[in-house]
Amino acid sequence: MAKILIVDDAKFMRTLVKDALVPKGHEIVGEAENGKIAVDIYKRVKPDLVTMDITMREKDGIEAAEEILAMDPSARIIMVTALGQENLLTKAIKIGVKDFVVKPFPPERLQRAAEKALA
């Protein structure tokens, strides 16, 4: 299926994302705890899909998504974020992010978002 890069500053959240997507046949090709590392991995690996947290140190998810989309306008990014980030989600959608999933999420919600973004 798809090669996926998971970006979240919380290891347990990266594990939850992985546990939702790997059983659907997707391959995790990278994990990053901040946007700076995510951009570096994206350049090297060129994943089919990125799941991206918004609030992270060094470079947040919005900045990382902007940078990734600037170098690859066809990049598929799903924001995975906590409640209360509506203003940032609006900005994310405007810059080209495909979808968003609110934490905590049922695995099926993330799976549907991934399928939609990859379609």
Domain count, the chain: 1
What share of the chain has pLDDT > 70, as a percent?
97
Side-by-side strand order, sheet with 49-52: 27-32, 3-7, 49-52, 77-82, 99-103
Domain containing residue 51: 3-118
Structure tokens at 53: 């947290």
Rounded Cα distance between 92 and 79, Å, is 8
E strand or H helix at 28 = strand 27-32
pLDDT digits (tens, 9 = 90+) for 31-78: 999 999 999 999 999 999 999 999 898 999 999 999 999 999 999 999
Q: What is the CATH number for 96? A: 3.40.50.2300
Exposure string for 66-78, b = 16+ CB within 10 A, e = fewer: bbbbeeeeebbbb
